[in-house]
Structures are given as C-alpha cells and as structure tokens.
Amino acid sequence: MGLTKTKEFNKFFSNLVKGVTTLKYSKVPEATIRRLSRYSRCLEEMEQLGENVVSSAQLANRCKVNPAQVRKDLAYFGEFGIRGVGYYVKDLFHDIRRILGLNKEWKMAVIGMGNLGSALLSYKDFLKQHYKIVAAFDINPPKVIGRVSEKLGKPVEVLHINRIKEVAKERKIEIGLIATPPSEAQSVANLLIEAEVRGILNFAPAQIMVPEGFMVKDVFFTTILDNLAYLLSNN
C-alpha cells in the first residue's frame, strides 16, 4: 500500500514537473520540428515494411540523429512509448503527424508559372504527404496551361493572378507557394494576405513582410548553398 501510494505520488509529482517543463518549453525549437518531420518519414517507411515496435536507438539510427535527441524532441510534446519496450511505430507516426498538423489535407496554390512553379506543380512528394495543389496563378496564364497539363495526370488550370482572392475562398486555400521573380514577391504576398491565405512558402529570394497571424517560410536556395560552401571551406 505504502509503495503504491509512493508510486502514485511519484507519478503525480512527475506530471506536475512535466507540466512546468511543458510551459517552460512552450516555444519548441524549429530544429525539433524539422526532426519530427524526419521521424514521421522514417516511421512511415518502417510501417510500410511491417515493423511494429521501434526503440529510440533504432529510430535515431534510421533518421541519422542521436538517440538522446529523439527522446528530447518527443519530450516537448508529452510521453510516448513504453519504457523498456520502445515506441509502437503506427501510434508514434500518427502522434507526430497530429503534432505537426498533418492529420488533415492542406490545400495550396502556386503563384508564378515559370520553371520553378511548374516544378512545384508536378512535385509528387507533396501529394504523397497530403499537401494538395488546388490552384495555380500567373500574370500570363494562357501561355502556360499547355505545359502544365502535359506534366500532370490531373491538370491544374492556370488562372490569372487577379482571381486569387475569389478562388482562394472558393477552394479554401491555406498555403500559397510564391515562385515569382523576387521583385513581385511582396505584391503577391499582399494578395494572399488579402485573401486570408495564412501560410506562405516563399521561393523568391526576397524578404516578405506579413502581418501578425500570417506565417512565412523562405526556401532560399542560395542561403542553403552558402551553408554548404561554409562546410566545404571549413572541413
């Protein structure tokens, strides 16, 4: 009885401490989110291979991070797995998908139908991960419809950019992918903001300003190259 009470107290105390910890870490590092995305990919592969249970060491090995990192990353979001056993592959996969907000389909639009915009339209990995491009825009749409539909099983009609607001509401678009020249990026972002498209993935090498409540992630190829150049110069 005494032991049980102590156990209960320990559990209560541990949850209390965890609660405080959760508050303290309410801002989860971006690197953790990036790794969660990687874990989710690895777990998906493992599930497809018919694996049921995985230890943090095995998961870490597969994802090329260290085991302590896996445990630390997951600890931000609560308690997963069973001590001495590991994680159930399927459960952890679904938990991580839920944490990342990927337990739903995200509807996206691509703006700018040059080579990069066309590449995004035919990027198979998006659809595999529940990101669905439901609209495409350009300032000169007739020029590109042919090329795009030729690349896709199910063609997406390219519309004139002045229809963004109307179409975004109609098709419930939540994320806009900006693939225009840098000089046009802010004005396209403004159109997306007006259309209440809250998320922007910006491929145009230009800083974009958005009001509170809107989110921008930049994909600047040159910045990533700079990182690589640094590593090559210093290793």
Binding interface with a second copy (CB under 8 A): 30-31, 33-34, 36-38, 40, 64, 99-102, 106, 114-116, 118-120, 122-123, 125-126, 128-129, 131, 151, 174-175, 182, 198-201, 205, 207, 213, 215, 217, 219-235
Q: What residue type is 180 in one-letter code?
A: T
Name which of 88 and 106 has its Cβ closer to a second copy: 106
CB of 222 to a second copy, least distance (A): 5
Residues 235, 224: Cα–Cα separation, whole Å: 17
DSSP 97-152: HHHHT-SSPEEEEEE--SHHHHHHHT-HHHHHTTEEEEEEEESSTHHHHHHHHHH-
Name which of 114 and 146 has its Cβ closer to a second copy: 114
Name which of 57 and 63 has its Cβ closer to a second copy: 63
CB of 8 to a second copy, least distance (A): 32
CB of 16 to a second copy, least distance (A): 23
Residues 46, 10: Cα–Cα separation, whole Å: 35
Query: In DSSP terms, which residues pair with 133 in a beta bridge?
Result: 108
CB of 15 to a second copy, least distance (A): 21
CA-based Rg of the chain, rounded to a whole angstrom?
Answer: 22
Name which of 84 and 212 has its Cβ closer to a second copy: 212
Give the 3-state secondary structure of residue 160: strand
Name which of 16 and 68 has its Cβ closer to a second copy: 68
Closest CA to 118 of 88, 141, 102: 141
CB of 12 to a second copy, least distance (A): 27
Name which of 171 and 198 has its Cβ closer to a second copy: 198
Give the 3-state secondary structure of residue 82: strand
CA distances, 123 to each of 105, 142, 224 (Å): 16, 21, 20
Closest CA to 148 of 161, 163, 133: 133
CB of 198 to a second copy, least distance (A): 6
CB of 29 to a second copy, least distance (A): 9
Name which of 89 and 175 has its Cβ closer to a second copy: 175
